[in-house]
A and B are shown apart, each in its own frame.
Chain A
Amino acid sequence: MELGRPNLDEFAATLLELARDNPDILVLTSDSRGSGKLQPFAEQLPDQLIEVGIAEQNLVGIAAGLAAAGKIVFGVSPACFLTARALEQIKNDVGYSDQKVKLVGISAGVSYGALGSTHHSLHDLAALRAINNIDIVVPADNFETREAVRAAVTHPRPLYLRFGKKPMPHLHRPGTPFAIGKAITLAQGSDVTFVAAGEAVAPAVEASELLRAEGVSCGVISMHTVKPLDVETLLNAARRSRALITVEEHSVYGGLGEACASVLLQHGLIRPFCIVGIPDEYTVTGSQMEIFVHYGISGEGLAQRARQLLEVELIQ
């Protein structure tokens, strides 16, 4: 897989392009322009960047006010603080009041690695899934990032975008269609299908290559929109595959995995099924990659899960 740049860089570059042609696009930062890769934006379009200081709650409230006055607002702050500190503002001022703010959670998941749990966002998908009227998009690569940022500008509902800061491999062929709410099927498989989101898609692709070499028919889906979930694509994959594995850079509680499990069960589709993510424990110290490998979010780790799951199924 050819390596691109960090999704955060792609996000910032795309936003700068769009904002140059549209003075109604505003960016809000909370001492976060550096981590948001928005320094060039701040220099080139200083009138379109509003700094609020280290004050995430204030950031979301101001964003709602600006959106209410017709502005196209991107509120950019580390995912951990944005979605925990300002959760009530997100729920009431954005979701409930239907202000079409675009919230951008940067350095999401365990991107901050050894900075520890204060800086991890392993709760954001769960917290926001339970809030009415906010869509959740977790792009996997530069292509999905660019398309999601473009789509965000005219998206008819409040939106949460989630980005990591590690360079991502290019996953999609040129010309692949993208729409918020429509998952992208990278490969179809009859033995096992990985349903992944964000920076967890790349390891799922690696695992699928390992498994294919062993003769396992393996599918991969990038479920970039975690809410609303693309139920049709998920059900089709489940009908095709003997087993399903979800993969996410999030707590195994309340995220993509449980969203998929709920859909499958309520449609009566019972398959050997496994949720891979960060378990409910004191997260191990390490870089993002070390944490991924520790919890099996790696090519080999996921391939092993698949082998176990398929073996279980053979025994039954």
Chain B
Amino acid sequence: MTEQELRLKSVAYRRTILTIIHHAKAGHTGGSLSCIDILNVLYNHVMNVSPENFSDPNRDRYIQSKGHAVEALYTVLADRGFFPAEALYTLSRYQSHFVGHPTRKVPGIEQNTGALGHGLSVAVGLALAAKKDKRPYRVFTLLGDGELTEGSNWEASMSAAHYRLDNLVAIVDRNGLQISGPTEQVMSLESLTDKFTAFGFAVRTCDGNDIGDLLRVFEALPFAPGKPNLILARTVKGKGVSFIENALNWHHKVPSDDELARALAELDEAERLLKVVV
């Protein structure tokens, strides 16, 4: 897929995310919009995983540690053909398998998440198994920045470095916000580059909402032999809709009819501009 096609896909994904959250009257809007470009590039360009090879032990693995942004994941999985897109409209409904956090009852999902600070350890386990079995697959995991205050992440980091898991790629969605406020006000995280480097990762930063920058950083994998990889992806929470961007209350706010219409209009305009450039 070309860079331009991926950019257009991101716009379409944003439309779907907002529409299904509006339909379900529940969801994590800000964190889904901030990470959708990362998921887009992973599932459409980087990872070797598809509905056809999902039972292949050599497929690449994706664990979404920031499970609350499940609408982004469901959206991409539907587009990749893991299940029919109509199923997205059962999100959070009575007796649906499409719960408000990832579950393995949904095709394409590898691990149930939603309690923060679990994904990296599970990813370490999967990456360690690949090393033991001499399998070629890679393991990708997406963490929130607020999530990094869970101590388990740092236990997992030590083991990733100790076992030299260069087949492990941890991506931090560095949108600078959590529920109660900016991350640096809630609990200081910086310097994350220094911290992860000290814990033994090879660290790269990128613009996590720029498809070109994301493609470049994933091309550069593995960053250093024998070291786990960490991508600090600078993002904007709520990216793509002016009134949702960087707005604290949009962590799990649901768009009203009017807000949805305005958001979709902004996305139409973004799509038009993208097409003009070509």
A binds B: yes
Residues of A bordering B, CB below 8 Å: 29, 31-35, 51-55, 57-58, 80-81, 84-85, 113-119, 282, 284-287, 290, 294
Chain A CB within 10 Å, residue with most, of B103, B146, B187: B187
Interchain CA distance A33-B187 in the complex, whole Å: 14
Chain B CB within 10 Å, residue with most, of A32, A35, A85, A294: A85
Nearest Cβ distance between residue B129 and chain A, in whole angstroms? 24
B115 within 8 Å of A (CB atoms): yes
The residue that A31 contacts in the complex, of B93, B114, B186, with Cβ under 8 A, is B186
Interchain CA distance A102-B113 in the complex, whole Å: 28
Instruction: Report A-chain residues with C-beta under 8 Å of the C-beta of B146.
Output: 31, 53-54
Size bin of chain B's contact surface: 20 to 34
The residue that B149 contacts in the complex, of A53, A85, A114, A118, with Cβ under 8 A, is A53
Q: A57-B151, A116-B103, A118-B115 are in contact. Are A285 and B97 (CB under 8 A)?
A: yes
Work out how many contacts link A and B, with CB atoms closer than 8 A. 87
A58 touches B151 (CB 8 A): yes
A34 touches B93 (CB 8 A): no
B150 touches A55 (CB 8 A): yes
Instruction: Report B-chain residues with C-beta under 8 Å of the C-beta of A286.
Output: 93-95
A285 touches B187 (CB 8 A): no
Nearest Cβ distance between residue B115 and chain A, in whole angstroms? 5
Q: A51-B187, A53-B146 are in contact. Are A31 and B180 (CB under 8 A)?
A: yes
Interchain CA distance A115-B113 in the complex, whole Å: 11
A53 touches B187 (CB 8 A): yes
- Give A118's nearest chain B residue, CB to CB: B114
A51 touches B95 (CB 8 A): no
Instruction: Report A-chain residues with C-beta under 8 Å of the C-beta of B96.
Output: 285
Interface string of B232-245 (1 = CB under 8 A from A): 00000000000000
Nearest Cβ distance between residue A138 and chain B, in whole angstroms? 22
B147 within 8 Å of A (CB atoms): yes
Q: A115-B99, A286-B95 are in contact. Are A54 and B115 (CB under 8 A)?
A: no
Interchain CA distance A284-B99 in the complex, whole Å: 10
The prevalent SS among residues of B at the interface is loop
Instruction: Report A-chain residues with C-beta under 8 Å of the C-beta of B99.
Output: 114-117, 285
B100 touches A55 (CB 8 A): no
A54 touches B149 (CB 8 A): yes
A118 touches B101 (CB 8 A): yes
- Give A289's nearest chain B residue, CB to CB: B94
Nearest Cβ distance between residue B98 and chain A, in whole angstroms? 8
B95 touches A284 (CB 8 A): yes
The residue that B114 contacts in the complex, of A55, A84, A116, A282, with Cβ under 8 A, is A116
Instruction: Report B-chain residues with C-beta under 8 Å of the C-beta of A55.
Output: 149-151, 187
B88 within 8 Å of A (CB atoms): no
B92 touches A54 (CB 8 A): no
B178 touches A85 (CB 8 A): no
Instruction: Report B-chain residues with C-beta under 8 Å of the C-beta of A84.
Output: 115
B100 touches A114 (CB 8 A): yes
B101 touches A119 (CB 8 A): yes
26 A–B pairs (Cβ distance < 8 Å), ordered by A: A31-B146, A31-B149, A31-B178, A32-B180, A52-B149, A52-B187, A53-B146, A53-B186, A54-B146, A54-B149, A54-B150, A55-B149, A55-B150, A115-B114, A116-B114, A118-B101, A118-B115, A119-B100, A119-B114, A284-B94, A285-B95, A285-B97, A285-B98, A285-B99, A286-B94, A294-B94
Which residues of B, 166-205, contact A by the 8 Å Cβ criterion?
178-180, 186-187
Instruction: Report B-chain residues with C-beta under 8 Å of the C-beta of A114.
Output: 24, 26, 92-93, 99-100
Interchain CA distance A119-B103 in the complex, whole Å: 13
Chain B CB within 10 Å, residue with most, of A35, A117, A282: A117
Q: A118-B67, A284-B94 are in contact. Are A51 and B180 (CB under 8 A)?
A: yes
Interchain CA distance A284-B117 in the complex, whole Å: 25
Interchain CA distance A85-B152 in the complex, whole Å: 10
Instruction: Report B-chain residues with C-beta under 8 Å of the C-beta of A53.
Output: 146, 149, 186-187
B112 within 8 Å of A (CB atoms): yes
B116 within 8 Å of A (CB atoms): yes
Interchain CA distance A116-B151 in the complex, whole Å: 23
Nearest Cβ distance between residue A78 and chain B, in whole angstroms? 9
Instruction: Report B-chain residues with C-beta under 8 Å of the C-beta of A290.
Output: 94
Instruction: Report B-chain residues with C-beta under 8 Å of the C-beta of A58.
Output: 149, 151
- Give A35's nearest chain B residue, CB to CB: B179
11 extra interface residue pairs, beta carbon distance < 8 Å, beyond A31-B179, A84-B115, A290-B94: A52-B187, A53-B187, A55-B150, A58-B151, A81-B115, A114-B92, A115-B26, A116-B101, A117-B112, A282-B105, A285-B97
Which residues of B, 81-113, contact A by the 8 Å Cβ criterion?
92-101, 103, 105, 112-113
